[in-house]
A and B are shown apart, each in its own frame.
Chain A
Amino acid sequence: MSKNIYERPVLRKVVEGIPNKFGSLKRLRPIETIDNVAIDDIINKYGSPVFILSEKTIRETYKTAYRAFSTRYPKVQFAWSYKTNYLDAVCRIFHQEGAWAEVVSGFEYEKALDNNIPGNKIIFNGPDKSREDLIRAINNNSLIHIDHFDELYTIIKLVEELDERPQVAIRVNMDTGIIPQWDRFGFNYENGEAWNAINRILSNGKIDLLGLHIHIGTYITMSKAYATAIEKLAALAAKTFDRFQKTINYIDLGGGFASQNTLQGAYMPATDTTPSFDDYAHTITTAMTAVNFPNNEMPTLILETGRALVDEAGWLAGTVLANKRLADGRRAMVIDAGVNLMFTAFWYDYEIFPVHETSFQSEPTTIYGPLCMNIDVIRKNIDFPMLNKGDHFVIKRVGAYTMTQWMQFITYRPNVVLIDLKGEVHLIRKQEDKEVFRRQELIPEYLR
């Protein structure tokens, strides 16, 4: 007979709900493997914490999303939003699946070129494009999505110097019923700025206006808002055709599809509330086919969704550092991954699982990261089984915005590994060490 696991005594509030013959036990099932690879093995080999990406999930998610749109609308193109996760390996998987690149800075632009994406398949977004960035983008026939008039003026000036015709679209913002209304990017529709921008571009005669771009917000759970946006864009396209006999070649609906991570304060778990790709696709393609684009020309539909494509594929595995009891008697657990790695923990209630079965009992727990900062909270309150120091945990759905928004703060950033389709683990980003930072830093002579 094996020795029973030691369980500390617990104090627990009675959980409401109808008891059945199993009682009202709330229990987190451990997650021991990802794509049949033991998490323990990964931690043992690559250290703790460690980001784990599943190639299988990435490809499956992409295929689901692409299928949802491409079987409903004849011309669909996805562009991988670099800022969501620009690890080269991840980008290349999306590119292999057929996605173009959507970048928002010169840095991301260079990354896209390095990932062998031809210039004409790069969509250049964002409010910060330097003159040099624009020159390169124009020469490469990239699709430049103009964000403001100052950028437009730069382009108009550049036209005189360069041989290539800039291939542009304008970013439009509008009231689609979403609150908050994102009006800081692009030209506003209601106040006429967008129309003004179109006039300036087409009157110039040396710039090709190809598309209209809109990004109505992020984590949009109301798929109807996209339909409103499409109607307004179609009206703009019709107006453009009336005045300039120029049809719009594509409509870029940006991203903003919600992933299945639950937002803090949400009443229901996101897995029950977020629309699926099919829901988004249905609303968007129905609206695209219902509205009349001028000259009966169906524009290509471009989607830059990032979060919903990669969130599910990312995992963060780590180790419990300590347990403690707080002043009010609440239990607290310190783990080795904090907001330095998961900036996103500020708005998500991440799902955390133990890697092994430890106890059948769970207790309301606050989970803290390892930083010596008060703000370093991963979960304020979660019913969590009692893990001991050295036990492993894994956090689900961390593929989006973690590996790009992470900070080098207090400690180094860890290894990132990718499990390929055959179940082999590849290191795709090495953990940092002091040499990385020493290389960057310069010490003035007098301080040596």
Chain B
Amino acid sequence: MKKKLAQKSIYIGEAILTSYSQIFFTENRILAVVLFFVSFIDWWMGLSGFIAVITAIALSELLGYSSITVRRGLFSFNSLLVGLGISTYFSHGIEVIFLIVIGSAIAFFITIFLMGLLAKYTLPFLSFPFVLSMWLLLLSFPAFSGIDLNAEALYPSNMFFKIGGGPLIFLMDWLNRVFMDTGFDTYFLSLGAIFFQFNILSGVLIAIGLLIHSRVNFLFSLLGFFIAYWFYSFLGIYTGSLNYTYYGFNFILSAIAIGGYFLIPSRQSLQWSLLLIPMLVVITIGSDRLFAFFGLSVFSLPFNVVILVVLYAFKIRYNQTKSPILTIVQQKNPETNAYLFDSQPVKEYAPFIFPIRLPFIGQWTVNQAHNGVHTHKDFFRFAWDFIIRDTASDKEYKNEGLLPSDYFCFDKPVIAPASGTVVAVADTVEDNEIGVANTLQNWGNTVVIKHQEYLYSKLSHLKKGSINVKVGETVFEGQTIGKCGNSGRSPYPHLHFQLQSSQEIGSPTIFWPLSEYIVGDETKLGFVQKGIPSENEAVSNIPASPLLQSAFKWNPGDEFLLQMKSDKKTSDFVIRNEIDSYNQSSLLCLKTGAKLYYENNGKTFSALNYRGSKRSALFYFYRSLYKVVLSDDSNLKVETHFPVHHLYRFPLLLIQDFAVPFGIFLKGNYMLSYKENTQIFNPKQLEMNSQILGKGKQSFFSAQIIVHKNREIEIWLETPKNLKIYLKWENKLV
């Protein structure tokens, strides 16, 4: 009971704190504590905000909403703003507390409603609930003539004297004098205004919190604000108006949102965030004039409107592989987003997580690729035609090529490119004679397989009578589904392969890269992690290694012992394999709480992120096995970037943090090479070498890895400081 209560109070505490930091799109504790403290500069305002947050959390608990969302403060941060807002109007009193609870509830319900409405478009509800509820309340305020107005905010010096006496007044004066007419005074006031704190001190504190949380966000807040500031004077608007309208934070928040949060911070995100400022300025001025008729302030409306429409425009784009790149998974802070994004082997294809592989056995050649000259146009531009070509003669047929059976690809097995369910089959179209195209039954004999919602693969022009799967049947990756033929619009035998978002035969194609394949022959292995085979490329699937596949296949709840031995000491770490409600797998170090997020798509084990103590043996495990292609091809070389924030330390990393919007100059190149096995069949172990190199081939560390058949992994690590570490990974149950 006691334990349960403790857990619950930790949970509520987290939910309260993140409600504060969520306003800056983060769950960072330090920033949350700073903001919480700032809100209590005026005790009444702090209390109001706190009551509003409690109200919202209580409501979400009462209604039984997702504890994850509650903990992230998403249900309550709008209420917090409303609470703070109300307290700036009315002086403390029991009836005002009542009003705050009501306001908080209104904001809460609007949050729920907007969340549901916008989730369909995967758009955030931002602080719309706050703006809407605040307007409703404001319109009603003149009726509450019996309640005292809050005069504290009008006479800030009085307030500061009450809190901190003489020294605080002196500090405030000094701050005012230092930043007077530099523009920074307005910047700090604007930052403070986000929390309805109209003083420089609050702004300075928030700025420090922001800096601790994220250098990128801090930079964007400056950039956003000062571009707008400059724009105001450029348009001939009195910049001082930013001081008393308190709209400056709109620019700060949008620069952070677009530059660092919703987009991966980069040069492009920087350009976009700067481009939006002029728009925002005009909207701010315009809407301010409109709402002045009703005696209302526009609050964060400009920011909300601009972000929502721009984000929608970004998300609705057909091709998500081009910049600006949207952030799919939010990490600790924007720079972490950027570093992790940068460390992926094929960054532009990051959104295409589900692996689709080549639908045939052995080496085939792309005859027509995307945007082909013959038929892969418009709706069908993201399709491939595959044939088999003789490497020596470069011909695709033997003899004269007058019979379908002369063609090397004819009658060859066609396999399922990924696991799924067969949803459509056509198997009655005659195979054409050579040179004849059946345009009436365009696709010929075809199989459509559903892999995921909105992800179907279609294999066409198969040989009549060769299809051996039925509608409704589940197929596994690599299962033969039919034979390559010459039916439909196919003058020569070939395999048409496309991905589409619906199950009908004849649906338009969608863009989707293929995973883990080899270009060229085995002698010079051109391994592609994710890519689009182009015309005339000879491609084949990469062979899998059963030994590696089983060594990296862990079930949720499996526990492992990771033993670390260095010259001085030996320590044991128990690691548990877990899976969360987002279907995200991770390894948890029970000793330190460090977590290694990973993904295993069947042919590649990829570490996605590492969080927590770097003293855990798991951290060395993460470095050594950052990316492992589960194949035993000794010619294979895996190369990718390694997240630089897990390699570099204070001075360099700090500079890099600030420089993220301009580019990542720190280098971390991870390489993994495979040793040829002495026992080809039934090997007892597989040896690999991994290494991370920085700029100018500076070595961060190298590791010799042996994966055993009994799923044990041994790692001998060496760092440039000559630190030698031995790691042993074994299943705890054995």
Contact = CB atoms under 8 A, between A and B. Distances in A.
Interface of A: 56, 59-60, 63-64, 67, 70-76, 98, 120-121, 141, 143, 167, 208, 210-211, 249-250, 278, 282, 285, 289, 297, 300
Contacts, number: 67
B630 to A, nearest CB: 15
Given A60-B393, A75-B543, A70 B361 contact: yes
Interface in B676-734: 677-682
Interface residues of B, number: 28
Nearest to A73: B361
Given A70-B362, A71-B363, A71-B412, A249 B681 contact: yes
A76 B679 CA distance: 17
A211 B681 contact: yes
A61 B546 CA distance: 32
Nearest to A296: B476
B110 to A, nearest CB: 55
A71 B681 contact: no
Chain B CB within 10 A, most for which of A60, A72, A282? A72
B363 A70 contact: yes
B408 A74 contact: no
A152 to B, nearest CB: 19
Contacts of B34: none
B680 A63 contact: no
The interface residues of chain A, by DSSP majority, are classed as mixed
Contacts of A250: 681
Interface stretch (B157-165, B233-241, B329-337, B384-392): B384-392
Given A70-B362, A71-B412, A60 B392 contact: yes
Contacts of A63: 390-392
Contacts of B679: 120, 141, 167, 208
Contact of A282 (B391, B392, B411): B411
A285 B415 CA distance: 14
Given A63-B391, A67-B388, A210 B362 contact: no
A372 B679 CA distance: 52
Contacts of B478: 74
The interface residues of chain B, by DSSP majority, are classed as loop
A289 B364 CA distance: 20
Nearest to A282: B411
A3 to B, nearest CB: 40
Given A120-B678, A120-B680, A143-B681, A59 B360 contact: no
Nearest to B679: A141
B480 interface: yes
Nearest to B405: A278
A276 to B, nearest CB: 9
Nearest to B393: A60
B708 to A, nearest CB: 15
A298 to B, nearest CB: 9
A59 B412 CA distance: 22
B522 interface: yes
Contacts of B411: 278, 282
A72 B388 CA distance: 12
B184 to A, nearest CB: 66
Interface string B212-240: 00000000000000000000000000000
A249 B682 contact: yes
Given A98-B522, A282-B411, A71 B388 contact: yes
B575 to A, nearest CB: 28
Given A141-B679, A249-B682, A250-B681, A67 B546 contact: no
Contacts of A70: 361-363
B413 interface: yes
Contact of A210 (B398, B409, B480, B681): B681
B603 to A, nearest CB: 13
B480 A289 contact: yes
B362 A67 contact: yes
Interface in B154-208: none
Given A71-B388, A167-B679, A208-B682, 12 more contacts: A59-B392, A60-B392, A64-B390, A70-B363, A71-B361, A71-B413, A72-B362, A72-B413, A141-B678, A167-B682, A289-B480, A297-B546
Contacts of A71: 360-364, 388, 408-409, 412-413
B577 to A, nearest CB: 24
18 contacts: A56-B392, A59-B392, A60-B392, A60-B393, A64-B398, A67-B390, A70-B361, A70-B362, A70-B363, A71-B412, A72-B413, A76-B362, A141-B678, A167-B679, A167-B682, A208-B682, A250-B681, A285-B413
